[in-house]
Structure 1
Amino acid sequence: SICVLSEFYLQFCNCSFFPLFFFSEMRSRNSSAVFWHGGSSGGYQTLLLDEDRGWLLVGGRDHVYMLQAESLTQPMRKIHWPAGKEHTERCRHAGKNLSTDCANFVRLLQPFNKTHVYVCGTGAYHPQCTYIYLGHSVEEPAFTLLTHTVESGRGKCPFSPHESFTAQLTDGELYAGTSVDFMGNNAAIFRTSVHTSSQHYIRTEAYHDYWLNEPDFVGSYFIPDTHSLDDDKVYFFFKETAVESNQQDKRVYSRVARVCKNDIGGKRSLINRWSTFLKARLVCSVPGPGGMDTHFDELEDIFLLETKDPQNPVIYGVFSTSSSVFRGSAVCVYSMASIRAAFNGPFAHKEGPDYRWVEYKEKIPYPRPGTVSVHRAIKHRIYSTITSDNVISADVLVNYISNLIILLFVSSDGEVAQLPLQRCELYGKACADCCLARDPYCAWNGSTCSSYFPSNKRRARRQDVRYGDPWSQCQDLGEGFEDVELKTVYAVESNSTFLECTPRSPQAAAKWVMQQSHTQTTREVRFNKFTMLKQATWDEPLANITLGYRNTHGSSVYSMLMLILLHPALV
């Protein structure tokens, strides 16, 4: 689980996350903080951040912790909430592991109001939910578990601590994508009430693969469609085994599903079932030669970037390939206009079990299926295709952005880490390097690349996140560049040799130049004869030549690192 606190929203940033930072390096520089509670703790799977009060709630194994958001090393408070002994024993007798399965792993922390947080845990495969009372005091919150309000978590929280799960609490209703049985075979999208004793619920149909087929839930969001409350909808993002594929070639597709908040369920066979449930395929692909696209079919994470218009946020998805031959990942970006267009587009259906899914050509019933809460009108599950040409090739995690301090919280099974997002010292001492980094947390202040803080004075900072153009920001592009070490690399003549240089800025283009023996002139190497690999490397048979690497932006070239081959000899 990841939470980010930030002063910026990255709507202009085409982020390829370079340079790559290792957590061990950050710990050695004392630029991170780690929370770890020994003994029977661990299993930190959910975080809830309150920026106004400055605390971070962490759900773990049999515990909920309250930490100071600005420093995880400060004293913390905790609530002990174990599973019942009878449920623990029943879990153990069912063959589950006492340490990793048969405990109360907290999977849900959602704000209910200003004084209460709704919390759910697996309860040793007997899910349970209740409230944490925080009170009104900012300095000394109550932080008390309300044991008298404990209720069943079925349909709200998974039985297993290892299953995928998503939930959103809005207007006293919990919308959850979760499994609802011990074995994890019955997965559904549920809506249940959390502020009344009502047992009424709405869910997707069980064991019907055209509703949900072995779904792996990733995320969910409440997104209004119009200014009318009657048009409010909840969107679920997940991946599942595609019903479109044949039995011999099972494929995994990523999906977005939508339900109306005012859905009261259907009639007859659809009592307590969604009458507005629709789903569509999320397509993330890269065009290839000959019209063969590379598809990233498996959704790994999802992030909603809020804009000034609450009805039109931007959706970022992290995808990976399902192929065992080609492995890769990508970030695809979707607008709400394209998602709504898919749900308003053509339907798909098939005539029978031996038929293929095809576009529905007949007249669409009125009211249109999926648009009202009292009429379903179509037998088979429907979908349309969402396409996107905004693909960023990167292997990244999707972050959650808010507005106060610049910190990143990352939870794993064993610990919670606090990491700074401002690492401006990595970009060197040149204005051009700082600008080329296109880091929204850093700017050139006239002498160094330093942390950026909003200012009404335009001249107080120099940064161009959108274009990364140092010409418009830096007066002297030659200032600040350091002399670099001259390295000698020995190799065997007429054999392949590997040379590598890593630019300080990921936005800078790389050039290799060749210097002939006993001359001072250089020329750029054209790669019709040599091989250019990722991050400015060289891997070709070499003669008695001198090679150099230069970094360029625009028409300005400055020396970064020189690799020399002097009279190759056997080593």
Structure 2
Amino acid sequence: MIWREPQKSMSPLALFAVFLGQLFFWVKASDFTHKPRVTLTDRDVSFLRIHLSGNNSHIELLQGPRDNIVYITGHIHLFQTDFHSSKPSIMSPVFGEGCRSNDPASPDCHYNITVLHKTKDPNQLFLCGTNGQQQTLCCYMNPSDDPFKCTRSKGIKNINQHINESEPSLFIGSAEVEEFYTTHSGKEGSVGIHRFGKNRLWTEKSGTEQRYVSLVASGQREDRLQDRLYAFYIEKNRDLSLDSDLWVPRVAQVCMADLGGPKSYLQFRWTSKLSTRLFCGDHDSRLYFTQLVDVNTVLGDRWQDTRVYALFRNGWGMSAVCVYTIDDIDRIFKTSNFKGNTGPVTNPRPGECVEDSTKLPMEVLKMVDKSSEMEEWVTSVPLLVTHRHYHHIRMDRVQGKWNVLFLSLENGGIHKVLERDGQAFVIAELQPFNYRAHVLSMMLNSSTAKLYVASSKELVQIDLGSCDQYGAQCEDCVLARDPYCGWDGHRCTTATNDTIQDVENGNHQVCSNISRGFTASKVYFPGSSVGAEDGIRVPLSSKYFLHCPTLSSHAEYSWRHHGNTTATPCISTKSEDQCLLLIESMGPEQQGTYSCVSEERGYRRTLVQYQLLLDRGVTGLASHHLPFPGLGLVLLLVLTLLC
């Protein structure tokens, strides 16, 4: 199927109709499953945190040689954090001997760290630093050395350009060759993909502004000659129509075996670079997302099955996640016609990976140089659409069958999202910072089920297998649909082969055969002068609020008086973490037991119960006084299993 450009030059009325259509689609797509079921703060979950010194506006994270070790790049410092201790160690980047004494006058000390990668040696790092004179130095470093030193790279050198710290990069080292790939965004100079090492290659000036988001290796193929590199980026739209999108999302390919062209044409230039447009949206509702924000890939058992999770935004202030496979992208580059091409395609086909690209026919090189864009687009329908602004995306494969996304929010929160058959379920919103923060970087360690989130001040470790917060009953645990969690017969804990869970449906009936007893607890608030057996005494004609804590936003909450089947709905609160009931005027009819009941997917239980009594000894309280439970009063809290 060839996806063509949407019709342009729409009237204002037509544009408004499109907006209404997009709004309708958003309302349809953003049903309750796109609202976090629970919100968990540092009061609910114990987050490990390490303070970071300095003013860090850009941070990169890298897993260390041991699970508890994480490397963090600041501007001129490399931090090594150990979550078994409380303080990170600081290692100044050594691009010259002068930095070892932290001499600020030394020119070698003015290199900002812009690249940090692992090598095949688990104890060795590959770093690059760039100074203000557009010079870049790369070196190898063993953080365990004392004193440590950075050994200049012999194979990757003479990088006479500034590498921006936000540019994506890849380091590929082997016994035969070491190669370093990075990108150059902007509209000036050699914008595109660059390779440093034995075979230096770059891109000719494009003439259009491009901003690169991610570099992805296709994975090792059966024929290593066919290994490819994919670049995801946005390009300034050349269509200047008023209703045109400002940016166009694209993906480009290059062959890793590319040697460039002969001396007469495309020497030191890519001969295999092709590009095509990415489409994320719903064609029927005319809902499109064109602002590519972030990309995360998950390797498949076969290279074709590697999945690319792309985070988009659009001009209406909405975010979306679209999923592509390397097989989808590969097929377009191998089969689509070239945009604007009306004649036959050359043989070999432009963009094919060959053993010696310097020997390619001239007509192939010219076609790659002049018309390397595909006519067909790589398309995907969003699995998640929301009005929230996401900034980063990471994905984990849990138990070999469940896909879980982690999306950072503008306020420093993280959405934990289950993806199942193209549908999304927002398990929880995690709030690791006790202040409004901008998430600078996220890193996932799948083997330990730990997520690392960095702000300018802190690095926080989130234990994804921390499950107690979902509730004290099996049903609470199962309804969470969290692949990391299961019920072990006593509590909600890290999932194993023996724990109870139903990630696919969240069917709490799987808990029906568990034997358990009824437990009730009484909570007394300090400062009360009333005994629990006497209940809560309320003066005649007074107003009174009853409070009920809520956890799941997917449950319905109501109040029942004396067990009446007719339920009274909650009074909504701004924080949405309380279900309130207002007693307008206390009298004999208002006495008795009040129960707060929640119901979610057929699971009903009583959360709290109050026993209200009329205090006939006190009268005349003004009706506008609204005493709250807990402010010098007694709350009788009864935790039950089911109504």
Common fold, TM-score beyond 0.5? yes
Question: Per-residue CA shift, 1:87-141, capped at 9, x if unaligned?
Answer: xxxxxxxxxxxxxxx9432121122331532211222353422323328xxx878
Matched, 1:333 2:332: no
List aligned pairs for 1:131-150, cutoff 5 A: 131-134=139-142, 143-146=148-151
Percent identity over the alignment?
20
In the alignment, what sits opposite 2:128?
120
Shift of 1:262: 0.8
Residues 548 and 169 of structure 1, relative CA distance in 2, 3 Å threshold: farther
Question: Does the 8 A contact of 2:120 with 2:173 survive in 1?
Answer: no
Residues 435 and 42 of structure 1, relative CA distance in 2, 3 Å threshold: same
**Corresponding residue to 1:76 among 89, 98, 102:** 89
**Corresponding residue to 1:314 among 297, 300, 307:** 307
For residues 51 and 16 of structure 1, what CA distance do their matches in structure 2 show?
Answer: 37
Matched, 1:36 2:52: yes
| 3-state secondary structure, aligned to 2:504 | coil
Matched, 1:420 2:423: no
The one-letter code sitting in structure 2 at the alignment partner of 1:282 is L
Shift of 1:561: 7.7
Question: Does the 8 A contact of 1:433 with 1:505 survive in 2?
Answer: no
Shift of 1:444: 0.9
**Corresponding residue to 2:477 among 427, 430, 434:** 434
Residues 173 and 244 of structure 1, relative CA distance in 2, 3 Å threshold: farther
The one-letter code sitting in structure 2 at the alignment partner of 1:117 is L
For residues 256 and 272 of structure 1, what CA distance do their matches in structure 2 show?
Answer: 21
Matched, 1:169 2:188: no
Question: Does the 8 A contact of 1:224 with 1:231 survive in 2?
Answer: no
Shift of 1:437: 1.0
Matched, 1:382 2:373: yes
Question: Does the 8 A contact of 1:214 with 1:240 survive in 2?
Answer: yes
For residues 301 and 383 of structure 2, what CA distance do their matches in structure 1 show?
Answer: 23
Residues 21 and 244 of structure 1, relative CA distance in 2, 3 Å threshold: farther
For residues 534 and 33 of structure 1, what CA distance do their matches in structure 2 show?
Answer: 26
Residues 147 and 344 of structure 1, relative CA distance in 2, 3 Å threshold: closer
Matched, 1:295 2:288: yes
| 3-state secondary structure, aligned to 1:466 | coil
The one-letter code sitting in structure 2 at the alignment partner of 1:366 is N
For residues 501 and 314 of structure 1, what CA distance do their matches in structure 2 show?
Answer: 43
Question: Does the 8 A contact of 2:307 with 2:323 survive in 1?
Answer: yes
For residues 562 and 253 of structure 1, what CA distance do their matches in structure 2 show?
Answer: 57
Residues 439 and 225 of structure 1, relative CA distance in 2, 3 Å threshold: same
In the alignment, what sits opposite 1:67?
81
Residues 271 and 185 of structure 1, relative CA distance in 2, 3 Å threshold: closer
The one-letter code sitting in structure 2 at the alignment partner of 1:202 is L
Question: Does the 8 A contact of 1:484 with 1:560 survive in 2?
Answer: no
Q: Which runs of 5+ in 1 are unaligned?
A: 1-13, 86-101, 351-359, 488-498, 526-530, 564-568
Question: Does the 8 A contact of 1:57 with 1:66 survive in 2?
Answer: yes
List aligned pairs for 1:242-261, cutoff 5 A: 242-243=237-238, 246=241, 249=244, 251-261=246-256
Question: Does the 8 A contact of 1:204 with 1:273 survive in 2?
Answer: yes
List aligned pairs for 1:325-364, cutoff 5 A: 326-350=316-340, 360-364=341-345
Residues 369 and 420 of structure 1, relative CA distance in 2, 3 Å threshold: same
Largest Rg, 1 or 2: 2
Residues 30 and 283 of structure 1, relative CA distance in 2, 3 Å threshold: same
Question: Per-residue CA shift, 1:396-432, capped at 9, x if unaligned?
Answer: 5322544432322223444433333233122011111
Shift of 1:16: 6.8
Residues 473 and 143 of structure 1, relative CA distance in 2, 3 Å threshold: farther
**Corresponding residue to 2:384 among 380, 392, 396:** 392
Shift of 1:238: 1.7
In the alignment, what sits opposite 2:226?
231
Residues 222 and 480 of structure 1, relative CA distance in 2, 3 Å threshold: farther
Q: Which runs of 5+ in 2 are unaligned?
A: 1-32, 99-108, 395-442, 524-534, 537-545, 611-622, 626-643
TM-score using structure 1 length: 0.69
For residues 361 and 467 of structure 1, what CA distance do their matches in structure 2 show?
Answer: 51
Question: Does the 8 A contact of 2:80 with 2:88 survive in 1?
Answer: no
Shift of 1:463: 1.7
For residues 174 and 15 of structure 1, what CA distance do their matches in structure 2 show?
Answer: 40
Question: Per-residue CA shift, 1:9-52, capped at 9, x if unaligned?
Answer: xxxxx997553445x658xx7522114134xx635522221345
List aligned pairs for 1:205-224, cutoff 5 A: 205-209=204-208, 213-215=209-211, 217-224=212-219
For residues 87 and 272 of structure 2, what CA distance do their matches in structure 1 show?
Answer: 48
TM-score using structure 2 length: 0.62
Question: Per-residue CA shift, 1:125-176, capped at 9, x if unaligned?
Answer: 53422323328xxx87874222586944445x62x45x54433434411111
For residues 430 and 275 of structure 1, what CA distance do their matches in structure 2 show?
Answer: 61
Alpha-carbon RMSD across the aligned residues, in angstroms, is 4.8
Question: Per-residue CA shift, 1:469-508, capped at 9, x if unaligned?
Answer: 2223453599789899999xxxxxxxxxxx99986346xx
For residues 235 and 481 of structure 1, what CA distance do their matches in structure 2 show?
Answer: 58
The one-letter code sitting in structure 1 at the alignment partner of 2:479 is L
For residues 241 and 84 of structure 1, what CA distance do their matches in structure 2 show?
Answer: 43
Question: Per-residue CA shift, 1:208-266, capped at 9, x if unaligned?
Answer: 33xxx322x22112113730011101111122213356488452122221111111112
| 3-state secondary structure, aligned to 1:265 | coil
**Corresponding residue to 1:462 among 490, 500, 505:** 500
For residues 256 and 520 of structure 2, what CA distance do their matches in structure 1 show?
Answer: 60
Worse-matched range after superposition: 326-335 or 238-247: 238-247
Matched, 1:19 2:41: no
**Corresponding residue to 2:451 among 395, 408, 419:** 408
Shift of 1:73: 1.9
Question: Does the 8 A contact of 1:43 with 1:414 survive in 2?
Answer: no
Shift of 1:464: 2.3
Worse-matched range after superposition: 435-444 or 47-56: 47-56
The one-letter code sitting in structure 1 at the alignment partner of 2:285 is M
Shift of 1:204: 1.7
Residues 519 and 406 of structure 1, relative CA distance in 2, 3 Å threshold: closer
**Corresponding residue to 1:282 among 254, 278, 281:** 278
Matched, 1:204 2:184: no
Residues 514 and 238 of structure 1, relative CA distance in 2, 3 Å threshold: same
Residues 153 and 345 of structure 1, relative CA distance in 2, 3 Å threshold: same
Question: Does the 8 A contact of 1:111 with 1:117 survive in 2?
Answer: yes
Question: Does the 8 A contact of 1:31 with 1:419 survive in 2?
Answer: yes
| 3-state secondary structure, aligned to 2:201 | strand
**Corresponding residue to 1:504 among 551, 557, 575:** 551
Residues 391 and 329 of structure 1, relative CA distance in 2, 3 Å threshold: same
Shift of 1:461: 1.0
For residues 246 and 145 of structure 1, what CA distance do their matches in structure 2 show?
Answer: 52
Residues 52 and 537 of structure 1, relative CA distance in 2, 3 Å threshold: closer
* Equivalenced residues, count: 483
In the alignment, what sits opposite 1:357?
none
Residues 349 and 404 of structure 1, relative CA distance in 2, 3 Å threshold: closer
Matched, 1:520 2:561: no
The one-letter code sitting in structure 1 at the alignment partner of 2:76 is D
| 3-state secondary structure, aligned to 1:398 | strand
